[in-house]
Amino acid sequence: MKQLIIKICQQFNLGEPVSEPFPLTGGLMHKMYGLNTNKGKYAVKLLNPFVMKRETAKENFKAAEQLEGILEERGIPILPARIFNGCKMQETDGQYFYIFDWYDGKPVYKDEVKQRHCAEIGKALARIHRIDQRASGGKRDMLHIDWNIYCQAVKAEDKEIHELLGKYIPLLNKIQQRGNDASSCIPPLTAICHNDMDSKNVLWKGWEYRIIDLECLSYSNPLAELLETALYWSGFEEHSLDLEKFRSFKAAYIEEGGNLPEDWEALYDSNNGRLLWLEYNLKRVLGIDCSPYEKGLGREETIKTLGHIGYYDKMREQFLASVK
């Protein structure tokens, strides 16, 4: 790692490192490092080599870079990757990466999140969604994941995960079917979406902030992102959903010109991205297209995601009653 960082510094004239590169927490797919040199301070994102082997990976990153440029032009408070030789994505010794100027902010977590944070992010999300909203597309694909196959496959790899997944299979099948049934009721909308604007991906310095982790930018359904992002900022991740924070987020989104869904129930039921994240992490547990390090991360995320899925189902009626 140290030699790679030294090469990056030399190749892009970042200066001489004055200390060891230090890992930055938060990323669940790629690796981030902070870097101090005699010319400044930077963050370097090393892109997951297994992700980069996917056929569409480079095209998706390029599309996200173009949308990142649009957000920057519109004054959205983001932290964009630096451009070298006309490109944002760089490569050294087969490792793809992005370089960022350092922003001296930090994420807020759990009890640190106040209603004002929710309102600020609600406004930012509405501003992003209003840039180029289209009345077409935005439909979620039907899911047909066979959880029994994963349960059997993981049996020899991890007994605890096998037993835990087995207990959840009836619920996973129920919400997968419910989501497929509801997906046809979601209006066909697309807009520029961040797709992962949770609390770990916003750095705060007082009430000033920068949105990071922009590699997932794409045209997606803004209603789905509104629900998911508002839930994140309202405490869903900690299994302590605060409906007042949700209302603050929603009110700010409306104030900034965002449009709300007409059918909250269909939107809530179709919000099955956690199932895809669960499947991805079960593949990690099985060692499919990942490093040995990622197997451990996949195990942690599998357990955490199953808990989130259970909590999401548990909160369904209370949430729907609150938005009527």
Domain architecture of the chain: domains with CATH: 2-101 (3.30.200.20), 110-322 (3.90.1200.10)
Q: What is the pLDDT of residue 25?
A: 79
Q: Does residue 194 sit in helix, strand or coil? A: coil
Contact residues for 293 (Cβ-Cβ < 8 A; gap 6+): none
pLDDT confidence bin for 173, thresholds 50/70/90: very high
Distance of alpha carbon 310 from alpha carbon 315, whole angstroms: 9
Find out whether 230 and 249 touch, Cβ atoms under 8 Å.
Answer: yes
Mean pLDDT of 142-146: 96
pLDDT confidence bin for 141, thresholds 50/70/90: confident
Q: Name the token pair of 102.
A: 């350092």
Q: Could you report the per-residue pLDDT of 257-280, keeping only the tens digit for each?
A: 999 999 999 999 999 999 999 999
Which DSSP letter does residue 136 get? S
Place of tokens 């499919």: 288
Q: How many CA atoms lie within 13 A of 104 on its CB side?
A: 3
Contact residues for 313 (Cβ-Cβ < 8 A; gap 6+): 171, 174, 175
Q: Could you report the per-residue pLDDT of 29-41, keeping only the tens digit for each?
A: 899 999 999 999 9
Q: Return the minimum-mean-pLDDT range out of 113-122, 136-145, 201-210.
A: 136-145
Q: What is the pLDDT of residue 26?
A: 65
Compute the radius of gyration of the chain from its Cα atoms. Answer: 20
Q: Exposed, middle or buried, 207 (CB in 10 Å: 0-12/13-18/19+)?
A: exposed
Q: Could you report the per-residue pLDDT of 28-84, keeping only the tens digit for each?
A: 789 999 999 999 999 999 999 999 999 999 999 999 999 999 999 999 999 999 999
Q: What is the pLDDT of residue 136?
A: 84
Contact residues for 267 (Cβ-Cβ < 8 A; gap 6+): 182, 186, 223, 224, 227, 261
Q: How many CA atoms lie within 13 A of 110 on its CB side?
A: 3
Instruction: Give percent of the chain above pLDDT 70.
Output: 99
Distance of alpha carbon 324 from alpha carbon 321, whole angstroms: 6
Residue 313 pLDDT > 70: yes
As a whole number, the mean pLDDT across the chain is 95
Instruction: Give percent of the chain above pLDDT 90.
Output: 90
Taking residue 253's Cβ as centre, other Cβ atoms within 10 Å add up to 26
Mean pLDDT of 295-312: 96
Count of H-run helices and E-run strands, the chain? 12, 9
Q: What is the pLDDT of residue 282?
A: 97
Contact residues for 251 (Cβ-Cβ < 8 A; gap 6+): 119, 122
